[in-house]
Structure 1
């Protein structure tokens, strides 16, 4: 008890002494080497980095994810400096080959050395407190631009004086940004940087590109190049606007976004910036797949949940068990893609409507009809949305494929889109009695849960198969290409929240995958498709699959 009392008195005394002292602004020097972790809580990101800065040499370098991505900012090269990014690239011919991309600075956007510590010019001393076991000075800067109030806070301490009595060195401990939007009345942004190691010694050789490395231009849209070449620039600044805001303007132009009012514009911009940071960070992590901005980039995760409309029903269906004996002599091909045979209709956009189950249903029936007749017909999702409520489906608020099969079986078929009417993306009036029906279903079959061989057989013999997946992760929303594997994905029946269509399978760079057709437009994924890893039945592709047999 006495020890605690003495410690408390000591801390108060130190704090009191510090409070009376006139604190000079910390100076981390013109050269340093620092390691740390960037955390973006709202974007679900934790990213390790290592940075070197040498202002006299006009050079900086920042590595991410333990050297998987290297970025260089060399202001002394050419007239306006040069930025480089070195990262692994995987194609159909090469696996994880390190490639170098180069950006030359311009008069309007010169390349300058990038700090990993904030510019403290406008920071004010706030208080003294313990943080991570160190007695720290706390410095803060508050900026307000429009509706955005940004608070930047740095915790720092000092190294012990050397034996020669030389000047002690300021050491960064923790940096935090908290953004508050007064119009929305909520925090719109937050990021943290934990500094783990700090030194003022910098080896000039770290700014040399790897020997023999040749560099080409950046792929993709030019507006994104500077963010990809220097991700840290968007974080270590105290401005209310930056590269992210320019990217948002480009996004609005590309997808012709017009928002109702200033409040919605602020909300959409905040969502976009979080999604953009997530995408860029994940792409630096060296995954088996890549992410990209798409038409959903200004949506929040709660809004995107409305597009995952598969109901989690407990009612057992009347589907037949998978007939293993009928497939004993089947010789499966190494790969399969029903698109190549003309069995798959074009990708559609379900819009902001939880009707994914209707697209999976029609996809399975369209495929079965093609296998039987050799003719591909575009069937109506809108009919199922409007008319199958009596079987337990809820239109845009969710449903299940087997309930739609049951409705089709009772009514003797389903209409084509041409005869029923266009997809509306909302619930409508059912007019089945005035529609011409086709594709009478005799029965439907439940593929044995979790059996990937059975699912391959079902695909090969019967055409595209309706499957359900866990699509609740941000990585799925912004998938672009490669074999998708999400460690956080669930694969139990209770985890499945989105219905899609399996149209084939194969292997890419040694990774076996399912070829999946989504219903989020051709702007999503790889022209509307995704390759989903077979590893550990990731995301539950083989958990609850069904196919139909036509009469």
Structure 2
């Protein structure tokens, strides 16, 4: 790393003192308040923050997303006091909604807690002279780290007139993989060095703080969870990232072909890790966590979403709403068909766009249970291999109604154990020699975009095959809570993933659909997601169907 010459440091210190600035020996202001926005373009994150730093008092406070998550760093006061990190966030569980909770992580002799700055230390940069940033006359500083094939360039812009921070950016380039492995920027505003009300640093005094639960964040170090700014300003997250990545690989038994692929996967893991951590600070109605997809690109994940869509009538029967509501009996406030035995265990479609087959088997298994009172397991592979003649394309996508039509013409769908194991790839069809587990007489289109109709269908008929817009990173890393994605589409053309609605209910005042996915029990909440039952978010009620079994 190139260092700014010592003489320049002295000159800068003199200039700062003449301007009335108070700098600590490190070259950083000893007291300041500043707001800003962290931009993570590869993770599609824009995260606002506000910070208060007072080196003399030994405190720093950084709030994210308008105070949805608050972090506090307290420097140790003696040889036996190594300081502490605090994080205050709203927590929602089965019992409480948005309960402010204080988590604490104490420092140690090996890792004491210090004040966390939100602007970089100018002493670690080389002065490159006058420049401009978006029309602002600035002084530009730069620092370059070269480690093997990786070159990290840090650039810092300071307002030439006010000496206030303007912009900070990092670009990391890996010559081995021939691309940027990292990029982030911070834009600053509202900087001042006025005295800070000391009470701002003592908002945890009246709170009972507890250790952070490790199980939900197995691939993120406690330091990053409690002090995310350190990853951007202090530049010491690489070793921890590598350690987390190795742990991730061991858990999922991932092995890569060579160093080139390893670095590519590490790059993807880094950005997904930051995305999940940043979103979890935003005070959403749900939480995310890294899962088996953490090293996968958006292009690779698109393979999992294999639902196609066809415009026009699909041959289904109209929804008999009058028949189903003629008794005037009130629908149950909540229902979970898993408890009653109508839902088979969560499966894993693997790297195959066969989600439509799992929605199909699930709705038939549920309807069979509702009519006959017994549980059966049906073959997705039967549909992958054999329903091409009805417009489905195996691992390259399909639709539930086309699978229904195949099953109706060919005498039913095979039992899973008779047809053979699911292969997560296209294979030879042997439907005719397999034992059939269920026959269907027809299928019904639930009234499009009607959440009330879907509620009736689930309550009266059992699990329902539904299609959703799952093309969002927030869905890929969903872990718990009620999932609501404002960017979700609900039109037929937006729906790219087939799943199974197996119930509905309300959690802490938030209505939800209970949805079974086909991405294994390592995804979501043991393979399930609670999807918001509001404004037809993500299109759950747009293209729902159920079957009539023989």
TM-score (norm 1): 0.91
Paired residue for 1:85?
Answer: 87
Deviates more, 1:374-383 or 1:211-220: 211-220
Deviates more, 1:100-109 or 1:275-284: 100-109
Paired residue for 1:325?
Answer: 322
In the alignment, the residues of structure 2 paired with residue 206 and residue 158 of structure 1 have an alpha-carbon distance, to the nearest angstrom, of 30
In the alignment, the residues of structure 2 paired with residue 300 and residue 34 of structure 1 have an alpha-carbon distance, to the nearest angstrom, of 35
Paired residue for 1:171?
Answer: 164
- What SS is found at the alignment partner of 2:189? strand
Paired residue for 1:218?
Answer: 212
The Cα shift of 1:270 comes to: 0.8
- What SS is found at the alignment partner of 2:67? coil
The within-5 A match list for 1:381-530 is 381-530=380-529
In the alignment, the residues of structure 2 paired with residue 105 and residue 252 of structure 1 have an alpha-carbon distance, to the nearest angstrom, of 29
Paired residue for 2:187?
Answer: 194
**In 2 relative to 1, CA 419–483 (structure 1 residues): closer, same or farther, beyond 3 Å?**
same
In the alignment, the residues of structure 1 paired with residue 385 and residue 175 of structure 2 have an alpha-carbon distance, to the nearest angstrom, of 42
In the alignment, the residues of structure 1 paired with residue 240 and residue 72 of structure 2 have an alpha-carbon distance, to the nearest angstrom, of 18
The Cα shift of 1:545 comes to: 0.4
The Cα shift of 1:433 comes to: 1.9
Deviates more, 1:63-72 or 1:204-213: 204-213
In the alignment, the residues of structure 1 paired with residue 399 and residue 390 of structure 2 have an alpha-carbon distance, to the nearest angstrom, of 10
**In 2 relative to 1, CA 426–305 (structure 1 residues): closer, same or farther, beyond 3 Å?**
same
Whether contact under 8 Å (1:57, 1:76) holds in the other structure is: no
- What SS is found at the alignment partner of 2:489? coil
TM-score (norm 2): 0.92
The Cα shift of 1:120 comes to: 2.8
1:111 equivalent among 110, 113, 121: 113
Whether contact under 8 Å (1:52, 1:202) holds in the other structure is: no
The within-5 A match list for 1:281-360 is 281-314=278-311, 316-328=313-325, 329=327, 330-360=329-359
In the alignment, the residues of structure 2 paired with residue 305 and residue 336 of structure 1 have an alpha-carbon distance, to the nearest angstrom, of 31
- What SS is found at the alignment partner of 2:95? coil
In the alignment, the residues of structure 1 paired with residue 454 and residue 29 of structure 2 have an alpha-carbon distance, to the nearest angstrom, of 62
Paired residue for 2:243?
Answer: 246
**In 2 relative to 1, CA 350–202 (structure 1 residues): closer, same or farther, beyond 3 Å?**
farther
- What SS is found at the alignment partner of 1:325? helix
CA deviations 1:92-119 (Å, max 9, x no partner) are 2222111111111122222222111112
The Cα shift of 1:534 comes to: 1.4
CA deviations 1:319-365 (Å, max 9, x no partner) are 11111221222431010100010000000111111000000000000
In the alignment, the residues of structure 1 paired with residue 502 and residue 478 of structure 2 have an alpha-carbon distance, to the nearest angstrom, of 18
Paired residue for 2:36?
Answer: 36
Paired residue for 2:104?
Answer: 102
In the alignment, the residues of structure 1 paired with residue 502 and residue 444 of structure 2 have an alpha-carbon distance, to the nearest angstrom, of 17
The Cα shift of 1:244 comes to: 2.8
CA deviations 1:68-100 (Å, max 9, x no partner) are 111111122553221111111112222211111
The Cα shift of 1:440 comes to: 0.7
Whether contact under 8 Å (1:156, 1:173) holds in the other structure is: yes
Deviates more, 1:352-361 or 1:95-104: 95-104
In the alignment, the residues of structure 1 paired with residue 227 and residue 474 of structure 2 have an alpha-carbon distance, to the nearest angstrom, of 22
- What SS is found at the alignment partner of 2:250? helix
The Cα shift of 1:214 comes to: 1.0
The Cα shift of 1:456 comes to: 1.1
In the alignment, the residues of structure 2 paired with residue 376 and residue 147 of structure 1 have an alpha-carbon distance, to the nearest angstrom, of 57
The within-5 A match list for 1:134-149 is 134-149=136-151
Deviates more, 1:250-259 or 1:476-485: 250-259
2:233 matched to 1:236?
yes
In the alignment, the residues of structure 2 paired with residue 230 and residue 538 of structure 1 have an alpha-carbon distance, to the nearest angstrom, of 33
The Cα shift of 1:239 comes to: 5.1
- What SS is found at the alignment partner of 1:326? helix
Paired residue for 2:67?
Answer: 67
Whether contact under 8 Å (2:102, 2:204) holds in the other structure is: no
Q: Name stretches of at least 5 consecutive residues in structure 1 with no aligned partner.
A: 1-20, 161-169
Whether contact under 8 Å (1:227, 1:243) holds in the other structure is: no
Q: Name stretches of at least 5 consecutive residues in structure 2 with no aligned partner.
A: 1-6, 14-26
Whether contact under 8 Å (1:59, 1:76) holds in the other structure is: no
Whether contact under 8 Å (1:466, 1:500) holds in the other structure is: yes
